[in-house]
Structure 1
Amino acid sequence: MSTPTSPGEGAPTDALGRALRLVSFAMLGGVVAIAAVAVFTVGDEAGSGVDAFGAILVSVVFVAAALFVPRRLVRPWPATAAPNEVKAAGQLRSAAFLSLVFAELPTLIGLVNSFARGVWLPVAIGALFSVAGLLLTAPTADRLREWLARMESAGARTGL
């Protein structure tokens, strides 16, 4: 792998990682703001067990997708491929954004469900799962290095 791992060297993916972490924190703040506004404006009724079950089911599906789908997107490069920093960074960025979007979807679907049914429980449950999903799938330096190693596992060099 061509990415330096010692803390003093500064990996080439550090700038990409900082930008992606900034986006993930913004999405996390958005989830919290959406949930807070919705809980206080939708109505006083919490909702039924069916509302809770539906929100949990949808949330589990999307958080699982946030964890597993990006790994399928990051594919090993053939050893004959020339180093291409732009393509490699784009693949890492796409995987990170896809993961963050899937992690945020439980809140957005819960918000729609909450407004449609006039209850606050679906958005609250969705937000809890989204916060957990965003924290679990945030593009950390270790995660980016893992994805980069996966891209280079066939012996190719990405140029990063």
Structure 2
Amino acid sequence: MSTPTSPGSGAPTDDLGRVLRLVSLAMLAGVAVIAAVTVFTIGDSPGSGVDAFGAILVSVVFVAAAFVVPKRVIKPWPPGSGPDEVKAAGQLRSAAFLSLVFAELPTLIGLVNSFARGVWLPVVIGALFSVAGLLLTAPTADRLRGWLARLESAGARTGL
């Protein structure tokens, strides 16, 4: 990886990381608001064990995808390729957004299921899994550096 251009400034991925962390915090707040509004809108019926099992199953699948998909999106560059900061930042951004979207999906699917069945348990379970997924897959500085190292693992330089 290349070094920062001026002393005192952060690594080039720091600006991208700040923006992505703001997006992940906004998604986290959105999950909390969606769950709270749904619980207060739906009423008193929590739902059955089938509702809970379905929500857990869907949540586990999508949170697992939030961990797996970025590794599929970020592929090492060929050794002969020249530095391309825009392409590298685009791949990092795509990986982060896909990870965040998959982590948020349990809440959105729970929301639909809650309103379709008139129970609040699916959205609450989905929100709990989404919060955990968003916190565990958030684009931290270490995660971005790992993704960047994966891009450069074949010997190419990304320019970041």
1:127 equivalent in structure 2: 127
Please list every run of 5 or more consecutive structure 2 residues that lacks an aligned counterpart in the other structure.
none
TM-score (norm 2): 0.96
Q: CA deviation at 1:122?
A: 0.1
Aligned length: 158
1:85 corresponds to 2:94:
no
**1:1-160 alignment to 2 at 5 Å?**
1-3=1-3, 9-160=9-160
| Aligned equivalents of 2:67, 2:32: Cα separation in 1 | 20
| Aligned equivalents of 1:122, 1:147: Cα separation in 2 | 33
Give the SS at the match of 1:91. helix
1:12-54 CA deviation, whole Å, 9 max, x = no partner? 0000000000000000000000000001111210000000000
Please list every run of 5 or more consecutive structure 1 residues that lacks an aligned counterpart in the other structure.
none
Q: CA deviation at 1:154?
A: 0.4
| Aligned equivalents of 2:74, 2:9: Cα separation in 1 | 25
| Aligned equivalents of 2:3, 2:98: Cα separation in 1 | 23
Question: Letter of the aligned partner of 1:144 in structure 2?
Answer: L
CA contact (8 A) 1:3 1:145 kept: no
Question: Letter of the aligned partner of 2:16 in structure 1?
Answer: L
Q: CA deviation at 1:72?
A: 1.0
